[in-house]
Structure 1
Amino acid sequence: MARYTGPKSRIARKFGEPIFGADKVLSKKNYAPGQHGNNRRKKTSEYGAMLAEKQKAKYTYGVLEKQFRIMFEKAASSDGITGEVLLQNLESRLDNVVFRLGIAPTRAAARQLVNHKHITVDGAVVNIPSYAVKPGQVIAVREKSKSLEVIANALAGFNHSKYPWLEWEESAKAGKFLHKPERADIPENIKEQMIVELYSK
């Protein structure tokens, strides 16, 4: 599937946040990209602010426009608060769960591990990054992939207790998706209500 492959530091500078993870460029140049980025004083409209929140969520979770809209429509037709359900569904994506478990250092790296068949769900190999993980399912590193350097480096010193909806078993290199996360537990700085208002216009 297609995905964003452009300069990530430029996107992070646009939002003023390290949405793709630690970014040396952002720490040095914490202002908008472009020739006049450091002098820009343009006031953002209400619509512009809502659009920016949607774009931030898309880039953060690595989802393209059509897929994001489908996820929003699914959230809107579900029980619960639409914005929260949308974030919970994004958090339930397999690539995101692999990232949250510390198996990969970034969501892009997690997506690659899934694509290359290094990850199993309930013992079966799943190579679809957008696969919706359900409560109770076990996500693990495939047996022959446990010695991969990228996985070992990512797991080294990772704090597995910071996400209460996940449970990690070090000896098996596996984690259980206990339940969908509460909004207060999701660390992403996304104003989901603005996304709901954008799609409601």
Structure 2
Amino acid sequence: MARYIGAKCKQCRREGKKLFLKGERCYTAACAIERRPYAPGQHGQQKTKLSEYGLQLREKQKAKRIYGVLEGQFRTYFEKSDAQPGITGENLLRNLELRLDNVAYRLGLGRSRTEARQVVRHNLVTVNGKRVNIPSYQVKIGDVIEVKEDAKSFERFKQITEVTGSRIVPEWLEADIEALKGTVKAVPARDQIDTDIQETLIVELYSK
């Protein structure tokens, strides 16, 4: 499966704000956007006012980068969200939040979404006792996400939990960080999703 392997700091610089793609490291490490607060590339320092379309496009790109989703998959999420009952933009964020790699990140099983995705891809996570290595797998209410038993002693997870142990877990999840597991208690409401995304701009873009 295709994935972005370029510099994450360039993505933050392109969007003009920290996207926290490196997890807690973005709070502590020196950030490229603080040293160079302009977009990467030859014309990055040129100041231009974005059009309405430009604002909508940037919001879509920001959402894709935060959740680590490429264009085709993101459009599929939008079409699925549009077909579901309720508000399309909120459905979109909800479907992105319910990805297995994002839930693993929210539970503290990865310092960043990228690391949580890697943990899933490396067959280290189970859902209801069954191994699942698909990052986009959609979890459901009642699902139990857990690091497989023979991997819980890995030094990797000791290092991860030292960083994520104090992380605030969303209300729609229940985490047991010592046991390296968590449960999906509910579908997240919009006010329980703290990602800085204006989903209405994305809906407007795809509705053109």
**Alignment TM-score, normalising by the size of structure 1:** 0.94
1:21-36 equivalences under 5 Å are 21=22, 22=26, 24-36=31-43
Alignment of 1:15 onto 2:15: yes
SS at match of 1:167: strand
1:44-123 equivalences under 5 Å are 44-123=50-129
**Deviations 1:86-141, CA, capped at 9 Å, x for gaps:** 00000000000011111101111111111110000001100000000001100001
**Deviations 1:62-101, CA, capped at 9 Å, x for gaps:** 1111111111001001011100010000000000001111
**Alignment TM-score, normalising by the size of structure 2:** 0.91
Distance 1:145 1:113, change over 3 A: same
SS at match of 1:172: coil
Distance 1:170 1:114 in 2: 16
What amino acid is the match of 2:40?
P
What amino acid is the match of 1:140?
E
2:198 corresponding residue in structure 1: 191
Distance 1:170 1:56, change over 3 A: closer
Distance 1:152 1:67, change over 3 A: same
1:128 corresponding residue in structure 2: 134
Distance 1:171 1:58 in 2: 31
Q: Pick from 142, 153, 157: which aligns with 1:147? A: 153
Distance 1:119 1:151 in 2: 12
Q: CA deviation at 1:180?
A: 1.7
* RMSD after superposition: 1.5
Q: How many pairs were matched up?
A: 200
Contact 2:107 2:169 in 1 (8 A): no
SS at match of 2:96: helix
Unmatched tracts of structure 2, length 5 or more: none
Alignment of 1:5 onto 2:11: no
Aligned-residue sequence identity (percent) comes to: 49
Contact 2:108 2:177 in 1 (8 A): no
Q: CA deviation at 1:160?
A: 5.0
1:167 corresponding residue in structure 2: 174
1:37 corresponding residue in structure 2: 44
Unmatched tracts of structure 1, length 5 or more: none
Contact 1:92 1:134 in 2 (8 A): yes
Instruction: State which drifts further: 182-191 or 148-157.
Output: 148-157
Q: CA deviation at 1:30?
A: 2.3
